[in-house]
A and B are shown apart, each in its own frame.
Chain A
Amino acid sequence: MSTAVYERIRNNPKFDELVAKRSRFAWTLTAVVLGIYFIFIMVVAFNPKLLATPIWEGGTASIAWPIGAGMILLFWLLTGLYIRRANSEFDDINAEIIKGAIE
Chain B
Amino acid sequence: MNRGMLKFAAVALALSWMGLAIAAPDVGQAQKQGINIHAIVMFFIFVMATLGITYWAAKRTKTASDYYSAGGGITGTQNGLAIAGDYMSAATLLGLTSLTYFQGFDGYIYCICFYVGWPFIMFIMAERLRNLGKFTFADITSYRLDQRQVRTIAAIGSLTVVVFYLIAQMVGAGQLIKLLFGLDYWLAVVIVGVLMVVYVTFGGMIATTWVQIIKACLLLGGGTAVMLLAFSQFGFNFETLATQAVANSKKGLALMGPGSLLADPITAVSLSLGLMFGTAGLPHILMRFFTVPNAKEARKSVFVATLCVGFFFTVVALMGLAAITIVGTNPQYFEGGELGGKLIGGGNMPAMHLAHAVGGNLLLGFLSAVAFATILAVVAGLALAGASAISHDIYANVIMKGKATEADEVRVSKRSSLFLGVLAVLLGIAFEKQNVAFLVGLAFGVAASCNFPVLILSMYWKGLTTRGAIWGSIAGLVSAVLIVVLSKAVWVVVLGNKEPIFPYEQPAIFSMPIAFFMAWLGSVTDKSARAAKEIEAFEDQYVRAQTGFGAAGAAAH
Residues of A within 8 A of B (CB): 1, 3, 5-6, 9-10, 15, 18-19, 22, 26-27, 29-30, 33-34, 37-38, 40-42, 44-46, 48-49, 51-52, 54-56, 59-62, 64-65, 68-69, 71-73, 75-76, 78-80, 82-83, 86-87, 91, 94, 97-98, 101
The one of B127, B300, B317, B544 in contact with A6, judged by C-beta atoms closer than 8 angstroms, is: B544
The one of A1, A10, A80, A94 in contact with B539, judged by C-beta atoms closer than 8 angstroms, is: A10
Q: With the chains together, A59 CA to B179 CA distance in Å?
A: 39
B interface residue count range (under 10 / 10 to 19 / 20 to 34 / 35 or more): 35 or more
B242 in the interface, Cβ–Cβ < 8 Å?
Answer: yes
The one of A30, A41, A101 in contact with B123, judged by C-beta atoms closer than 8 angstroms, is: A30
Query: Given A29-B119, A65-B238, A76-B310, 14 more contacts at CB 8 Å?
Result: A9-B543, A9-B547, A30-B119, A37-B112, A41-B268, A48-B258, A49-B257, A51-B105, A60-B253, A62-B257, A68-B108, A72-B313, A79-B118, A98-B547
Given known A-B contacts A68-B109, A75-B118, A45 and B242 have beta carbons under 8 A apart: no
Interchain CB contact under 8 A, A40 and B112: yes
Interchain CB contact under 8 A, B239 and A75: no
Return B155 CB to nearest CB of chain A, in Å. Answer: 25
Chain A residues, CB < 8 A from B313: 72
Given known A-B contacts A6-B544, A94-B547, A82 and B307 have beta carbons under 8 A apart: no
Which 10 A-B pairs rank lowest in CB-CB distance, beginning with the nearest? A52-B257, A1-B550, A61-B242, A45-B265, A62-B256, A48-B258, A72-B310, A26-B123, A60-B243, A44-B258
The one of B238, B300, B550 in contact with A83, judged by C-beta atoms closer than 8 angstroms, is: B300
Chain B residues, CB < 8 A from A79: 118-119, 122-123, 302-303, 306
Chain A residues, CB < 8 A from B265: 42, 45-46
Chain B residues, CB < 8 A from A38: 269
Interchain CB contact under 8 A, A44 and B262: yes
Q: With the chains together, A44 CA to B105 CA distance in Å?
A: 10
Chain B residues, CB < 8 A from A1: 540, 544, 549-550, 555
Q: With the chains together, A72 CA to B26 CA distance in Å?
A: 42
Which of B120, B317, B547 is most buried by chain A, counting CB atoms within 10 A of its CB? B547
B296 in the interface, Cβ–Cβ < 8 Å?
Answer: yes
Chain A residues, CB < 8 A from B120: 30, 33-34
Return A3 CB to nearest CB of chain B, in Å. Answer: 6
Q: With the chains together, A15 CA to B122 CA distance in Å?
A: 21
Q: With the chains together, A54 CA to B242 CA distance in Å?
A: 10
Q: With the chains together, A34 CA to B327 CA distance in Å?
A: 37
User: Main SS of chain A's interface residues?
Assistant: helix
Residues of B within 8 A of A (CB): 105, 108-109, 111-113, 115-116, 118-120, 122-124, 127, 238-239, 241-243, 246, 253-254, 256-259, 262-265, 268-269, 272, 295-296, 299-300, 302-303, 306-307, 310, 313-314, 317, 539-540, 543-544, 546-550, 555
The one of B124, B242, B258, B306 in contact with A76, judged by C-beta atoms closer than 8 angstroms, is: B306
Given known A-B contacts A9-B549, A62-B257, A79-B119, A71 and B112 have beta carbons under 8 A apart: yes
Q: Which residue of B lies closest to A3 (CB)?
A: B540
Q: Which residue of A lies closest to B308 (CB)?
A: A76
Chain A residues, CB < 8 A from B259: 48
Q: With the chains together, A49 CA to B299 CA distance in Å?
A: 38
Q: Which residue of B lies closest to A10 (CB)?
A: B543
Q: Which residue of A lies closest to B241 (CB)?
A: A61
Interchain CB contact under 8 A, B306 and A60: no
Chain A residues, CB < 8 A from B272: 37, 41
Return A25 CB to nearest CB of chain B, in Å. Answer: 8
Q: With the chains together, A86 CA to B300 CA distance in Å?
A: 11
What would 6 A/B residue contacts be, using CB atoms closer than 8 Å?
Answer: A30-B119, A52-B254, A54-B256, A61-B241, A72-B310, A75-B119
Return A80 CB to nearest CB of chain B, in Å. Answer: 6
Q: With the chains together, A78 CA to B257 CA distance in Å?
A: 26
Return A90 CB to nearest CB of chain B, in Å. Answer: 9
Q: Which residue of B lies closest to A26 (CB)?
A: B123
Chain B residues, CB < 8 A from A19: 546
Return B231 CB to nearest CB of chain A, in Å. Answer: 13
Chain A residues, CB < 8 A from B108: 64-65, 68
Chain A residues, CB < 8 A from B549: 1, 5-6, 9, 98, 101
Q: Which residue of B lies closest to A48 (CB)?
A: B258
Q: With the chains together, A79 CA to B242 CA distance in Å?
A: 31
Which of A19, A49, A79, A97 is most buried by chain B, counting CB atoms within 10 A of its CB? A79
The one of A10, A22, A29, A91 in contact with B296, judged by C-beta atoms closer than 8 angstroms, is: A91
Q: With the chains together, A46 CA to B540 CA distance in Å?
A: 46
Interchain CB contact under 8 A, B299 and A83: yes
Q: Which residue of A lies closest to B115 (CB)?
A: A72
The one of B115, B256, B306 in contact with A52, judged by C-beta atoms closer than 8 angstroms, is: B256
The one of A15, A33, A37 in contact with B547, judged by C-beta atoms closer than 8 angstroms, is: A15
Interchain CB contact under 8 A, B118 and A44: no
Chain B residues, CB < 8 A from A6: 539-540, 543-544, 549-550
Q: With the chains together, A59 CA to B254 CA distance in Å?
A: 14
Which of A52, A60, A83 is most buried by chain B, counting CB atoms within 10 A of its CB? A60
Interchain CB contact under 8 A, A64 and B257: yes
Q: With the chains together, A79 CA to B543 CA distance in Å?
A: 24
Return A26 CB to nearest CB of chain B, in Å. Answer: 4
Return B220 CB to nearest CB of chain A, in Å. Answer: 15
Return A97 CB to nearest CB of chain B, in Å. Answer: 6
Q: With the chains together, A86 CA to B296 CA distance in Å?
A: 8
Chain B residues, CB < 8 A from A9: 543, 547, 549
Q: With the chains together, A31 CA to B27 CA distance in Å?
A: 56
Q: Which residue of B lies closest to A53 (CB)?
A: B257
Interchain CB contact under 8 A, A64 and B302: no
Q: Which residue of A lies closest to B266 (CB)?
A: A45
Which of A37, A42, A61, A73 is most buried by chain B, counting CB atoms within 10 A of its CB? A61
Chain A residues, CB < 8 A from B256: 52, 54, 60-62, 64-65
